[in-house]
Amino acid sequence: MKKPKVSILVPIYNVSDFIERCAHSLFNQTFKELEFIFVNDCTTDDSIDKLKKVIIQYPLLKDKIKIIHHQTNKGLASTRNTALDNSSGEYISVVDSDDYIEVNMIELMYNKAIIEKADIVVSDFMAEYPDKSIYIRDIIDVNTKKNFSELLKQENTYSCLWNKLITKDLYFRKDCRIPDGLNYTEDLHVLLRLYYFAEKIVKVDQALYHYVQYNMNAITKSKQRMHFENIIFMWNKLDLFLKEHNEFEKYSHIIELKKVQNKVRLMIDTNSCELRKEFADIFKEEERNHISYFRRGERLMLFLVRKKCFLLAQLFHNLFVFKNKF
């Protein structure tokens, strides 16, 4: 088989309701020099059976499709790494198996990459809800180096991998792989490094990716111990990375604020009083420095956790969940 220009990497775990739509959107791409790498992370449903039924409908793509099976469930980070290690394309596209893409996504982004001689191409995306679709602009600055700080802020520049086409060479630079076990904030971890090393980042001003927000099995829907541990791990690794490159002081103010934002979000979202107790003191110094940046409800949650008022914090969580249901 001729070497593909783009490898599309798709992790699969319990996406029975979504995988067929995802696969059709991939196999109908107008760009043809592709390979498709699906990694089954020991899914417990019929996702793989449904995928195989779709594959049968595309006999001309048979030699371009790989399905790799993990022997044990390893999590999203390891699954993406497995797909990456088995890819042979010049560029990498990551697609989550509960999402789907426009049929001309790869063609538009690859052509942009070649014309602009870019390391990374970004597109806008649609956030898909049961009753509406919202157009999301992923802002990219013409100054490539500025994009790193904007990505850190995560205000108008998004940390998702799936709306990017990225040269494979970047992924294999030192520190540009997702550590095994980092299954939350893994996109931010690796994309910060990819943006840091990229010489040119460009944009296609169209929404080419559809980000599904109604998969209740998605890992971001409930906050558990793993989320707290991954947040701490990710920020510690970033601190070390920037110190190694003598850039820590330049970005320390943004990083401190983002650490506390992550903390308060987890404290509000988790339904576990025990997790609030266990992780009450994370980013304590950063919290003192940046408390004035937060809204009243966020400051209240941080205050309750800081004062060890965990029952009141749980009540606040319950009220927050109730309010958001209506």
Reported as a pLDDT band with limits 50, 70 and 90, residue 222 is: low
Q: Specify whether 134 is located in the same domain as 168.
A: yes
Give the end-to-end CA distance of the chain in Å, rounded to a whole number.
54
Exposure letters 194-225 (e unless 16+ CB within 10 A, then b): bbbbbeebbbbeebbbbbbbebeeeeeeebee
Residue 99 confidence (pLDDT) above 50: yes
Q: What is the pLDDT of residues 10-58, one digit of tens each?
A: 999 999 999 999 999 999 999 999 999 999 999 999 999 999 999 999 9
Domain-embedded: residue 219: no
Q: Specify whether 68 is located in the same domain as 179.
A: yes
* CB-side neighbour CA atoms (13 Å) of 109: 33
What the block records as the tokens of 257 is 């604020």
Q: Specify whether 117 is located in the same domain as 262.
A: no
Check if the beta carbon of residue 316 is closer than 8 Å to that of residue 304: yes
Q: Specify whether 165 is located in the same domain as 231.
A: no
What residue type is 317 in one-letter code? H
DSSP 154: T
Exposure letters 236-252 (e unless 16+ CB within 10 A, then b): ebbeebbeeeeeeeebe
Task: Report the length, in residues, of the chain.
Answer: 326
Which pLDDT score is estimated for 220?
Answer: 47
What the block records as the tokens of 309 is 């008022």
1-4: Cβ within 8 A, 24+ apart = 1/63, 1/64, 2/33, 3/88, 3/89, 4/33, 4/34, 4/35, 4/64, 4/88, 4/89, 4/90
With 0-12 / 13-18 / 19 or more C-beta atoms within 10 angstroms meaning exposed / middle / buried, residue 262 is buried
Domain-embedded: residue 104: yes
DSSP, collapsed to helix, strand or coil, labels residue 277 as: helix
Q: CA distances (Å), 156 to each of 10, 121, 149, 196, in order?
A: 26, 16, 11, 17
* Higher pLDDT pick, 316 / 52: 52
Domain-embedded: residue 1: no
Question: What's the rounded Cα separation, in Å, for the pair 250 and 262?
Answer: 20
- Residue that finishes a domain, picked among 212, 246, 267: 212
* Higher pLDDT pick, 89 / 145: 89
- Residue that finishes a domain, picked among 212, 236, 254: 212
Ramachandran quadrant class, 170 (left: phi over 0; alpha: psi -120 to 50; beta: rest)? alpha
Which pLDDT score is estimated for 21?
Answer: 98
Which pLDDT score is estimated for 223?
Answer: 84
Q: Specify whether 49 is located in the same domain as 15.
A: yes
Question: What's the rounded Cα separation, in Å, for the pair 246 and 270?
Answer: 35
**Residue range 298-321: average pLDDT?**
92
Exposure letters 280-309 (e unless 16+ CB within 10 A, then b): bebbeebbeebeeebeeebebbbebbeeee
- Residue that finishes a domain, picked among 212, 245, 271: 212
Domain-embedded: residue 186: yes
Domain-embedded: residue 195: yes
Q: Specify whether 151 is located in the same domain as 292.
A: no
Q: Specify whether 190 is located in the same domain as 318.
A: no
Can you give the pTM of this predicted structure? 0.92
Least confident of 198-202, 284-288, 316-320: 316-320
* Higher pLDDT pick, 322 / 289: 289
What the block records as the tokens of 207 is 């929404």
Q: Which residues make Cβ contacts (< 8 Å) with residue 8, sequence separation at least 6?
A: 26, 34, 35, 36, 37, 93, 94, 95, 106
Q: Specify whether 145 is located in the same domain as 235.
A: no
Domain-embedded: residue 217: no
Q: CA distances (Å), 110 to each of 74, 113, 120, 162, in order?
A: 31, 5, 10, 14
Phi and psi torsions of 129, nearest 5°: -110, 165
Q: What is the pLDDT of residues 57-96, one digit of tens each?
A: 999 999 999 999 999 999 999 999 999 999 999 999 999 9
Number of domains in the chain: 2
**The domain containing residue 279 runs over which residues?**
225-325
Phi and psi torsions of 136, nearest 5°: -115, 125
Summary mean pLDDT of the chain: 94
* Higher pLDDT pick, 139 / 316: 139
Question: What's the rounded Cα separation, in Å, for the pair 275 and 52?
Answer: 41
**Residue range 91-112: average pLDDT?**
98
Residue 266 confidence (pLDDT) above 50: yes
Q: Specify whether 200 is located in the same domain as 253.
A: no
